[in-house]
């Protein structure tokens, strides 16, 4: 999970787009060369029928692409409440450009409360192909992001696996997760989870329209990175999502526990105060602009010293989310859903500042104290790591400890709960490292995105596009496609991938070459198991 004041897809406090693209996004994200070229070749523009009207897309490298299809109404009229169905239109709606992202402080693209849009890439329309549907949920924590990043382009997956790929925008931050029921009454009972309910609504749209776009409504795979993986874990415990998806593949994103209603209400109280409104005066919030509301959300959270804004996440409200997603056990409603749980070995190198790569032992305790999410004395952490890995430098200890104590711990909790439940589960760790910055980022947070999408050739992909990157992409995307088609990630391009069981803890190490390992980093796992795991934002 990302820090509430940072983008999951960011590096060194910048968005990944800022860090990697440095202005190239205008050409790759917003321009429309594919459909212009198709028109010049005389290719006909594909059209599809939705419940609200016809849409016209474009052809891109032989695939049918539709962008900005609405699956819900403008949420400005439903602020803090579940959305309505989209408004029907007459004629044919052009689906050539991405729809607006939800309002957010890092707005590298147009934003609006009218943000409930899907993007579909498919090999064929209405052909009875019953292709697996791959539904991607973007990262950015619960605060920012959208489904329009060039790394999420689905054309390569469609060619490689004959599948349908869908990306989605939904409400985030205060618009999707500000819990108001205890302050504003039952009319806002769902307010702490409307961002999740948007995803449910999108999946309902997918079930209704999969056949129109050549897909199988009975074979929908959710996959998502960071915040997207956490949203998937949460959907696995939401009654409204039951039956809407059939596989789950999460990457560096876990949601073991949600926010309790007391903590969520305390955060709402902070928000009202910062907005200059009386506690529970929703009318005042409804009258404010999106910019005013986003500014109020920057008030310092009470959960951690480092947080500089309110921490938003799903709320165990007794209705939309009646239980914690993966505590005290894995959700029974999802026991039969095959699941892959993955992480990258060096997650926190994504956020490393220059000084973090050149720490000395005197600087290390303070840095660990700020960045690990569990409450263990930094001195004890350092002593344990120096015993386990005597050759590690202070910086290597810092990145290993903050990765294990920050995000990997949640993956272990989820995988263990699934194993105890007897649910079909596979676990991976990405060990292969990125070549950027001379390789110092290694296997950092977000590196698996271009690999599972097989998009290493996208401009400025963090994977690069060398032969080893393409091999890794073939392996990870191949495993994803096998999983989507069969419910099992095994295919000929990787070693036999065994299910995760206890006490063996079988784990696929994606590297060049890839291999299976039992309980990798077992010493770190055992060290952190001495304290209970509580997801950030729960209290």
pLDDT score of 306: 56
2, 226, 303, 477: which one is catalytic?
A: 226
pLDDT score of 95: 98
- Which of 305 and 500 is assigned the larger pLDDT? 500
Is residue 62 scored above 60 in pLDDT? yes
Asked whether residue 485 is domain-assigned, the answer is no
Asked whether residue 170 is domain-assigned, the answer is yes
Confidence tier at 17 by pLDDT (50, 70, 90): very low
Among 79-88, 253-262, 370-379, the minimum mean pLDDT is found in 370-379
Reported pTM = 0.92
**Catalytic annotation on 226?**
yes
pLDDT score of 14: 40
Give the chain's domain count: 1
Distances (CA, A) of 470 to 249, 431, 432, 435, 476: 21, 15, 12, 13, 10
Give the count of beta carbons closer than 10 Å to the beta carbon of residue 42.
Answer: 6
Asked whether residue 256 is domain-assigned, the answer is no
Give me 109's structure tokens: 């693209």
CA 408 remoteness from chain centre: 15
Question: Among residues of the chain, what percentage have pLDDT more than 70?
Answer: 91
- Specify the 3-state DSSP secondary structure of 415: helix
Secondary structure element (H or E) that encloses residue 175, with its range: helix 173-177
Structural domain including 64 reads: 10-217
Confidence tier at 48 by pLDDT (50, 70, 90): very high
Asked whether residue 484 is domain-assigned, the answer is no
Residue range 473-505, pLDDT digits in tens: 999 999 999 999 999 999 999 999 999 999 999
Asked whether residue 515 is domain-assigned, the answer is no
Is residue 181 scored above 60 in pLDDT? yes
Are 450 and 151 in contact by the 8 Å Cβ rule? The answer is yes
Q: Return the CATH number at 57.
A: 3.40.50.1820
Give me 63's structure tokens: 């695939």
Confidence tier at 517 by pLDDT (50, 70, 90): very high
Asked whether residue 388 is domain-assigned, the answer is no
Q: How far apart are CA 475 and CA 463, in angstroms?
A: 14
Among 67-71, 235-239, 306-310, 480-484, the minimum mean pLDDT is found in 306-310
Asked whether residue 72 is domain-assigned, the answer is yes
Asked whether residue 22 is domain-assigned, the answer is yes
Q: How far apart are CA 297 and CA 278, in angstroms?
A: 15
Confidence tier at 126 by pLDDT (50, 70, 90): very high
């Amino acid at each position: 999970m990302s820090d509430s004041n940072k983008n999951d897809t960011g590096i060194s406090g910048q968005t990944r787009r800022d860090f990697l693209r440095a202005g190239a996004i205008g050409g790759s994200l917003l321009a429309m060369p594919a459909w212009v070229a198709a028109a010049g070749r005389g290719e006909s523009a594909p059209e599809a029928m939705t419940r609200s009207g016809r849409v016209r897309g474009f052809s891109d490298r032989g695939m049918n692409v539709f962008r900005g299809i609405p699956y819900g109404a403008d949420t400005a009229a439903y602020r803090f409440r579940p959305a309505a169905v989209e408004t029907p239109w007459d004629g044919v709606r052009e689906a050539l450009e991405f729809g607006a992202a939800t309002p957010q402080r890092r707005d590298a693209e147009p934003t609006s409360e009218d943000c409930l849009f899907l993007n579909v890439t498919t090999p064929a329309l209405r052909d009875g192909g019953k292709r697996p549907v791959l539904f991607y949920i973007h990262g950015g924590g619960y605060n920012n992001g959208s489904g329009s990043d060039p790394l999420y382009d689905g054309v390569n997956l469609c060619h490689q696996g004959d599948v349908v790929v869908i990306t989605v925008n939904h409400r985030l931050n205060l618009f999707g997760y500000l819990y108001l029921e205890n302050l504003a009454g039952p009319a806002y009972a769902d307010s702490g989870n409307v961002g999740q309910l948007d995803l449910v609504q999108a999946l309902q749209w997918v079930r209704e329209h999969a056949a129109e776009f050549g897909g199988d409504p009975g074979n929908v795979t959710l996959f998502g990175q960071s915040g997207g993986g956490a949203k998937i874990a949460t959907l696995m415990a939401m009654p409204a999502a039951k039956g809407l998806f059939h596989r789950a593949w999460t990457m560096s994103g876990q949601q073991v526990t949600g926010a309790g209603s007391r903590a969520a209400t305390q955060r709402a109280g902070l928000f009202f105060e910062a907005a200059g409104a009386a506690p529970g005066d929703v009318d005042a919030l409804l009258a404010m602009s999106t910019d005013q509301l986003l500014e109020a959300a920057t008030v310092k959270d009470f959960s951690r010293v480092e947080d500089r804004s309110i921490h938003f996440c799903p709320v165990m409200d007794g209705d939309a989310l009646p239980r914690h997603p993966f505590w005290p056990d894995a959700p029974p409603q999802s026991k039969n859903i095959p699941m892959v749980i993955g992480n990258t070995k060096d997650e926190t190198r994504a956020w490393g500042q220059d000084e973090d790569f050149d720490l000395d032992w005197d600087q290390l305790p303070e840095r660990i104290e700020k960045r690990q999410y569990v409450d263990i004395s930094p001195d004890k952490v350092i002593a344990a790591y120096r015993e386990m890995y005597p050759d590690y430098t202070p910086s290597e200890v810092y990145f290993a400890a903050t990765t294990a104590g920050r995000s990997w711990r949640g993956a272990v909790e989820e995988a263990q709960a699934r194993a105890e439940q007897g649910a079909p589960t596979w676990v991976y760790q990405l060990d292969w490292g990125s070549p950027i910055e001379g390789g110092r980022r290694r296997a950092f947070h977000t590196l698996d995105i271009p690999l599972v999408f097989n998009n290493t050739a996208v401009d400025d992909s963090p994977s690069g596009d060398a032969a080893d990157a393409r091999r890794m992409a073939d392996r990870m995307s191949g495993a994803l496609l096998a999983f989507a088609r069969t419910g099992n990630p095994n295919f000929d391009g990787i070693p036999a991938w065994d299910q995760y069981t206890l006490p063996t803890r079988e784990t696929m190490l994606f590297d060049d070459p890839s291999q299976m390992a039992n309980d990798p980093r077992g010493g770190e796992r055992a060290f952190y198991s001495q304290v209970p795991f509580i997801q950030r934002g729960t209290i």
